[in-house]
């Protein structure tokens, strides 16, 4: 789930996967349960 969400976020923001891992989009922030490590 984390990988898929990261890809979706990257596509939405048109940013590289590395950026998503360093600074997850609002989608991950709103749903920290899916990310697991997004504190």
Q: What is the pLDDT of residues 10-29, one digit of tens each?
A: 455 555 565 555 666 666 66
Burial class (CB in 10 A: 0-12, 13-18, 19+), 35: middle
pTM comes to: 0.14
Q: Are 19 and 29 in contact (CB under 8 A)?
A: no
Query: How far apart are the C-alpha atoms of 14 and 39, rounded to whole Å?
Result: 23
Task: Provide the token pair at 14.
Answer: 């048109």
Note the pLDDT tens digit of each residue in 1-11: 555 555 555 45
| Angle, vertex CA 37, rays to CA 4 and CA 13, nearest 5 | 45
Residue range of the domain that includes 12:
2-35
Choose among 10, 25, 17, 15: nearest CA to 38: 25
Number of domains in the chain: 1
């Amino acid at each position: 789930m984390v990988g898929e969400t990261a890809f979706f976020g990257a596509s939405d923001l048109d940013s590289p996967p590395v950026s998503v891992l360093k600074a997850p989009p609002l989608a991950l922030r709103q749903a920290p349960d899916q990310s697991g490590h997004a504190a």
